[in-house]
């Protein structure tokens, strides 16, 4: 196994550039931690290079197994000193495993071409659209809950964080390797594409703001979330832009006990996605009973 002992090695410098989001390295992503690299390997991603600290290889059977597995499929596997691992890893306490991999590539048109617009009563694809969600931890958590709740994909728009940056990947805990995650510059273009594909678009807004728009507003628990639909979630603080709220097919708000007015965006996503899941499972169960 190749050994790297210098913090100035080209691989170390490359890992830093990828972690810092260098535009010239947008085709790669940095994976930090044994679990995340294992998830990437299991998902069939092209892991290009993996670095293991001497300490991790000496103390962790799983690290040794992963190093062997990656080497067997042509990945460049290197052993590094703790000092070099400190330089390669973006976290304050490195786990001892860092890897570089090719980013998954998903296009909105392809994602929507596979969407289920109709079908069983509880069917239809569910999408989560985030607009200007700038905290990578929040974005990663949304990707995680979207996969867990059965969504067909996540669309990150506007000034949202990079869904394949190292912080977002840690928050997603491997879900970004399995669930299609699309990056769209303009949220309006994404909304138009969703509508053209027959997907109903529902925007989230605080109850007082939603009521001001009148028609199409409902509490989360009164809004039907079955069939093909997309949930729009706004960024931390300002929420969704007014023009997107106006163009949505409907609005929904999460009921809250005063004086609380808002929830963290990742928490909001979890509440809404699981209400959609509940409704879909209930609709499917009713359909089965009707046929019995």
> Which pLDDT does position 116 carry in this prediction?
72
| C-beta separation of 41 from 67 below 8 A | no
> Which pLDDT does position 73 carry in this prediction?
95
Q: In the chain, pLDDT over 90 holds for what percent of residues?
A: 84
Q: In the chain, pLDDT over 70 holds for what percent of residues?
A: 94
Q: How far is CA 223 from the centre of its chain?
A: 24
- CA-based nearest residue to 22, from 165, 158, 160: 165
- Average pLDDT, rounded, for the chain: 92
Q: Please write down the long-range contacts of 89-93, taking CB distance under 8 Å and 24 or more positions apart.
A: 89/15, 89/32, 90/19, 90/30, 90/32, 90/166, 91/32
Give yes or no for residue 66 having a pLDDT over 70.
yes
Task: Over range 272-285, report the average pLDDT.
Answer: 93
Give yes or no for residue 283 having a pLDDT over 90.
no
Classify residue 16 as exposed, middle or buried by CB count within 10 Å of its CB (0-12, 13-18, 19+).
middle
Digit-coded pLDDT (tens) for 215-272: 557 889 999 999 999 999 999 988 899 999 999 999 999 999 999 988 999 999 999 9
Task: Over range 190-203, report the average pLDDT.
Answer: 95
Task: Over range 91-103, report the average pLDDT.
Answer: 95
> Which pLDDT does position 204 carry in this prediction?
94
> Which pLDDT does position 46 carry in this prediction?
93
pTM beyond 0.85: the answer is: yes
The DSSP call for residue 79 is: E
> Which pLDDT does position 124 carry in this prediction?
82
pLDDT confidence band for 123 (50 / 70 / 90): low
């Amino acid at each position: 196994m190749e050994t790297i002992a210098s913090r100035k090695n080209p691989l170390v410098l490359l890992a830093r550039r990828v972690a810092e989001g260098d535009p010239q390295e947008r085709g790669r992503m940095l994976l930090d931690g044994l679990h995340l690299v294992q998830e990437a390997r299991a998902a069939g991603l092209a892991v290009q290079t993996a670095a293991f600290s001497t300490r991790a290889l000496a103390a962790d059977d799983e690290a040794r197994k992963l190093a062997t597995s990656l080497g067997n499929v042509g990945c460049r596997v290197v052993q590094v000193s703790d000092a070099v691992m400190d330089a390669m890893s973006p976290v304050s306490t490195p786990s001892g495993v860092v890897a570089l991999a090719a980013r998954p590539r998903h296009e909105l048109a392809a994602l929507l071409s596979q969407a289920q617009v109709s079908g069983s009563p509880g069917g239809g694809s569910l999408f989560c659209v985030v607009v200007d969600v700038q905290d990578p931890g929040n974005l990663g958590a949304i990707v995680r809950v979207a996969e867990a709740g059965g969504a067909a994909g996540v669309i990150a728009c506007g000034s949202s964080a990079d869904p394949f940056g190292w912080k977002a990947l840690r928050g997603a805990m491997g879900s970004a390797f399995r669930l299609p995650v699309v990056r769209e510059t303009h949220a309006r273009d994404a909304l138009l594409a969703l509508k053209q594909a027959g997907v109903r678009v529902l925007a989230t807004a605080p109850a007082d703001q939603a009521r001001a728009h009148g028609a199409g507003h409902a509490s989360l628990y009164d809004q039907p979330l079955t069939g093909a639909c997309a949930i729009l979630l706004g960024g931390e603080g300002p929420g969704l832009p007014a023009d997107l709220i106006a163009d949505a097919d409907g609005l929904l708000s999460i009921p809250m006990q005063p004086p609380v007015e808002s929830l963290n965006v990742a928490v909001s996503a979890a509440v809404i996605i699981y209400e959609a899941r509940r409704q879909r499972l209930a609709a499917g169960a009713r359909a089965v009973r009707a046929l019995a």
